[in-house]
Homo-oligomer: A and B are copies of this chain.
Amino acid sequence: MTTEVKLSPRERLLEAAATLTYRDGVGIGVEALCKAAGVSKRSMYQLFESKDELLAASLKERSSAYAASLLPAADDNRSPRERILHVFEQVESQSGTPEFHGCRYLAVQVELKDQSHPASRVAHQVKTNLTAFFRAEAEQDGASDPDLLARQLSLVFDGASARAGIQADNLTGLVAPTVTTLLDAAGVR
């Protein structure tokens, strides 16, 4: 027997914003969001100052789950090299699902084209955290230039997500050899 958890209007709005903007883009209208959430516009504006704030909140709400879906457990006893490769295995695996449109935190920034938008700020922070993970692992392993390696891995991550998201590449046989080559060159064994 499944216990159905009743979501609050706030939770339903966050869920609708996350789902619909990922699928259709940030241009999705307030009407559509409220309709999907089963919440009146009046209630929405009581809960969120604006659609922009709702979008930012929905991205923030998802950020822990996003990090958990990509990063290895803090204490998994694997080497930094394996822990970095773990992230890219997740990307490759996630990109195989039909509803994949690339990294939502990259997409929202590409779409908004305004880095001062509240949602762009949230997305920027989430991506900065990922680069910081790469940097910490690179440093832990004594990479020759941890900053450069972290930037390279972030670039590969975003390039892979974007290309899989637009169906330009299925990533098979691409990401692991690319990351491995960069790790080798940086002395991360």
Task: List the interface of chain A (C-beta within 8 A of B).
Answer: 23-27, 101-102, 106-107, 109-113, 115, 120, 124, 127-128, 148, 151-152, 154-160, 162-163, 165-169, 173-174, 177-178, 181-182, 184-185
Of the candidates B113, B128, B168, which one forms a contact with A23 in the assembled complex, judged by CB atoms under 8 Å apart?
Answer: B113
**Copies of chain A in the complex:** 2
Can you sample 15 A-B contacts with CB below 8 Å? A25-B111, A25-B113, A26-B27, A107-B110, A109-B166, A110-B110, A110-B111, A110-B162, A124-B168, A128-B168, A151-B169, A154-B169, A158-B168, A159-B159, A159-B160
Evaluate contact between A110 and B158: CB separation under 8 angstroms: no
B residues near A24, Cβ cutoff 8 Å = 113
Of the candidates B107, B154, B156, which one forms a contact with A155 in the assembled complex, judged by CB atoms under 8 Å apart?
Answer: B156
Of the candidates B115, B155, B160, B168, which one forms a contact with A163 in the assembled complex, judged by CB atoms under 8 Å apart?
Answer: B155
